[in-house]
Amino acid sequence: MATKVHMEALSPTMEEGRLVKWNKKEGDAVKTGDTLAEVETDKAVMELVARADGQLIKVLVPEGTTVPVGNVVAYIGAPGEKVDGASSAAPAAQPSAPSAVRSAPEKAEDARIKASPLAKRMAKDAGVDLKLVQGSGPGGRVVKRDLEGAPAAAAVDVPRTGLPFEDVPLTQIRKTIAKRLAASIGPIPHFFLTTEVDMERAAEARDALNKQLGDQGKISFNDIVIKAVATALTKHRACNAWFQEDHIRYWNEVHIGMAVAVEDGLITPVIRDADRKSLTEIGTEARELAQRARNRRLKPEEYTGASFSVSNLGMFDIDQFTAVINPPEAGIIAVGSIVAKPVAEGSQVVVRRRLRLTMSCDHRVIDGATGAQFLKTLKQMLENPLAMLL
Amino acid sequence: MLRPYTIKLGLPVANQFDVVILGGGPAGYVAAIRASQLGLTVAVVEREKLGGVCVNIGCIPTKALLHSAYIANLLKESKDFGVEVGSVKTDYGVAMKRSRKVSEQNSKGVEFLMKKHKVTVVKGSGLLQPGKKVKVGGDVYEAKKAVVIATGSRVKGIPQIGLEINKTTVISSDEALLMEKIPGSLAIVGAGAVGMEFADIFNAFGVKVTLIEALPRILPLEDAEASDALAKSYKKRGIEVIAGAKVTKATIAKDKVTLDVEAGGEKKAIAVEAVLMAAGRAVNTENIGLAECGIQVTDRGFIKVDKNLQTTTPGYYAIGDVAGPPMLAHKGSREGIFVAEGLAGQKPHAIKYDNVPSVTYCHPEVASIGLSEDQCKERKLDYVAGRFPFSANGRARGTGETEGFVKIIRDKKYGEILGAHIVGGHASEIIHELAVARENEYTVEEVELAIHAHPTMSEAVSEAALDSLGRVLHI
């Protein structure tokens, strides 16, 4: 009996996957553990692994197709074995990611518009272009309920020579970012605390450390900030927490999510137990995770489970900004760029390197004073790095 | 009696399944088959016979008896068709025994299906327990994914007026399907599908039948035109039909029942040898452990379920008659499939409860789907009704089944099929064309565009569709 190969949930939040590339083709021998295909999930590109030995006797889903988790994508069995090939092809046959508005008109002309006869009549009557309606019927067919409330087309269609805009369907990562962050800023009562930190001593310490390390590696300001945030959180557990509907989880471990810009999006790999790691360990790990994040090779356990996050836009000359909290975390620190600026020291004006940090807090977990106290500790640690050892 | 051996140290792993289904009727056993097809391990707990009410004391035996009735009636007119029979003698006992054989065949069929799909069948009365468990006797069965409640329904009497089922003079369909000797006269309380079918059966076997309905017309849930057609047909056959009738009192003697009936302002006393209760069914929700598991019921007594058919306690689902109306086997089966697919991780096609066909198998048959004309009027829908009588249909004329009609109600603007009603021979089969049409949002035009074979009863469907468009051909 042939073994079904399913689109597996390769990450906790995955609902569908785009089959990017088949590594094996029909007729190839496969063993348990072999990589059958590469699948783009909501977060990264992952491997779909064979769970049986045999021959890949049938491939149901072509490259480039998006398939819901649970659908059969192929069969592994004995050579020449017959299987039902039609079972799950129907819902999977959608090119790339579906979106409310289809891509450029030239492509849509070829696609057969799937709509019930009733829906076609209603659309014609209302002047609605069926190509622009998202279908909720079987196989993505447009049905009556999809048209109840669809906007009517303009009375006159003025033909133009060039396209005034280009619609790009949301990729998996953009969809996930949209979904997660809209679910954050809406329901979470954010408030923001900004503080300006003097970074002279931190800069001096960093220079000294890097001179000492030589070519064994470099410590960046970001590493220092992460370490300071992690250490400060051990003294302010109230900020190291998750909001959980009817209770708050105060973490006794500190796992810092580090926002990394990747092509087309953003992902937050996690540095676990950051409070217990040395600066060099944090530095190495941060660089390695960022690299793999950019190559979309992070495993689910590497981008989930942070207790607090840090987002740094300093390298883009941003003075300060407010970050959106990653639920279920209760806070995030937004790091701006380090700028040399004139400050008052007593009655004198001196030039010092300063850094603006903005903390976004979930008011359901962190109150103003609590957040402020944490920020004060953080500031002290950054202004006098040895304070981290206290 | 041997019981499965359980090791006291660990869990009784032999009694752990993905899904445990309480009840092996059309909802339960279909859910079991579908779940098994999708790779889940399933156990079905059934206290009587597999197939439930439908196979054993419902759908299946009644349809077998109805066919015996049909043959009896057919033979009474066979001389016109060139077939001489002499006098037609009927023996209900023989007909009943045949229907039992048919039931037994079907029940064994379900047993076979359970074996084929490797579903474990546990014989006994199950009691729901918290933690997705079902207790049967001294054993406990644990479900890893879910427990599905499919305990069905039973006949009920109206004890308030003295009509408690006593199985001798006040009977239910259960007794009617098992009796060997039939009474000389019978009053049937309730003219829904069950009452109508038994009226047909007993009338064909020579019983003097009085059909009593509380609502203004018989077959109150069907379209008014269908009710009228059946009332006329039954009167012609000598079945006394009293609609809009209230039974105020029942006096039960040793072999006689007197019913005090108020209808149309008049009071009547009807004396019969027996009364058949066909005034509704009660759901089996007592003593199955609902309260202990925190499972709530609606104020109408059904198990409260959400759109995924999950009860108020996560991990427990309800399907079939217990989950709500319409209390029909095919609706229960579809719910069984829906829940099985959901448990296997799929996103099953949502059930369209307004697209469940309703069929009454008396003669002439009545089949309907969607809205009745009165319902369209109530909802102020802009509709057009198309009709075609079987008296104008070639096939019907040939078989002498000219009673009845096809009515299709379409939305005026887009032609959406709002409802379809068929009265006549084979209505139960013909309706499916319209069920498929409605499920896929075809309009009357698409139904007519499909070429219908000639000569068939189904052509009447095509013609009724044309009539609704104002261009009927054959009338």
Per residue in B99-108, pLDDT tens?
Answer: 999 999 999 9
Q: Which of B255, B279, B303 is the last residue of a domain?
A: B279
Q: In terms of CA atoms, which chain A residue is nearest residue B352?
A: A137
Nearest to A219 by CA among A227, A230, A340, A302: A227
Pick the more confident residue, B260 or A9. B260
Is B99 within 8 Å of B177 (Cβ atoms)?
yes
Assess whether B202 and B148 both reside in one domain. Answer: no
Q: What is the mean pLDDT of residues B396-406?
A: 95
| pLDDT digits 0-9 by tens, B415-430 | 899 999 999 999 999 9
State residue A167's pLDDT score: 59
Among B344, B349, B414, the residue with its CB nearest the CB of A118 is B414
Taking the CA of residue B282 and the nearest CA in chain A, the distance in Å comes to 35
Q: Which pLDDT score, from 0 to 100, does residue A251 have?
A: 87
**Dihedral of alpha carbons A25, A27, A29, A31, sign:** positive
Same domain, B444 and B397: yes
B449/A178: higher pLDDT? B449
Instruction: Answer whether A14 touches B (CB < 8 Å).
Output: no
Q: Using an 8 Å Cβ cutoff, are A14 and A175 in contact?
A: no
Q: What is the pLDDT of residues A47-94, one digit of tens each?
A: 888 888 888 888 888 888 888 888 888 888 888 777 764 443 333 333
Which of B279, B311, B345 terminates a domain? The answer is B279
Task: Read off the pLDDT of residues B43-60 as tens digits, 9 standing for 90 and up.
Answer: 999 999 999 999 999 999
Number of domains in chain B: 3
Can you list the domains of chain A with their CATH numbers?
A: 3-84 (2.40.50.100), 105-166 (4.10.320.10), 173-389 (3.30.559.10)
Q: Are residues B99 and B239 in the same domain?
A: no
The pairing of strands A348-362 and A190-198 is antiparallel
Per-residue pLDDT tens digits for A198-245 = 999 999 989 898 888 887 778 899 999 999 999 999 999 889 998 887
- Final residue in a domain of this structure, among B250, B279, B308: B279
Catalytic positions of B are 454
Q: Is the pLDDT of residue B216 over 80?
A: yes
Question: Is A110's pLDDT higher than 50?
Answer: no
Given pLDDT bands bounded at 50, 70 and 90, which one contains residue A272?
very high
Interface A-B: count of C-beta contacts within 8 A: 32
**What is the C-alpha separation between B80 and B88, in angstroms, rounded?**
15
Residue B445: its chain A contacts at CB < 8 A? 117
* Closest chain A C-alpha to B106 CA, distance in angstroms: 29
Residue to mutate among B40, B414, B442, B443, with most A CBs inside 10 A, is: B414
Q: For residue A134, what pLDDT band results from cuts at 50, 70 and 90?
A: confident
Residues of A in contact with B345 (CB under 8 A): 69-70
Residue numbers in A near B346 (CB within 8 A): 70
d(CA B386, CA B407): 6
Q: What's the pLDDT band for A17 if we cut at 50, 70, 90?
A: confident
- The answer to whether the CB of B213 falls within 8 A of the CB of B242 is yes
Q: Is B174 found in the same domain as B289?
A: no
pLDDT value for B330: 97
**Is A363 tagged catalytic?**
yes
Q: Do B148 and B216 share a structural domain?
A: no
Q: Is the pLDDT of residue B124 over 70?
A: yes
- pLDDT tens per residue, range A324-341: 999 889 999 999 999 999
Residues B184 and B79 in one domain: no
- Interface predicted TM-score (ipTM): 0.71
Q: What CA–CA distance (Å, rounded) separates B117 from A288?
A: 51
Residues B346 and B370 in one domain: no
Contact criterion met (CB below 8 Å) for A43 and A303? yes
pLDDT (mean) for B220-232: 96
Is B341 at the interface with chain A, CB within 8 A? no
pLDDT of residue A159: 45
Percent of chain A with pLDDT over 90: 31
Examine the domain organization and report whether B150 and B287 are in the same domain: yes
Q: What is the mean pLDDT of chain B?
A: 93
pLDDT, mean of residues B431-452: 94
Which chain B residues have a beta carbon less than 8 Å from that of A125? Answer: 413-414
Give the Cα separation of A25 and A20 in Å (integer): 14
pLDDT category of residue A197 using cuts at 50, 70 and 90: very high
Lowest mean pLDDT among A79-83, A291-295, A364-368, B64-68: A79-83
Tell me the residue type at B207.
Answer: V
Q: Is A119 on the interface with B (CB under 8 A)?
A: yes
* Beta carbons of B414 and A122 less than 8 Å apart: yes
Task: Determine contact, residues A120/B442, Cβ cutoff 8 Å.
Answer: no
For residue B223, the enclosing domain spans 159-279
Identify the closest residue of chain A to B413 by CA–CA distance.
A122
Query: Do both B453 and B310 map to the same domain?
Result: no
Please give the residue of chain B at the shortest CA–CA distance from A136: B349
Q: Which residue has the higher pLDDT, A167 or B86?
A: B86
pLDDT value at residue A87: 40
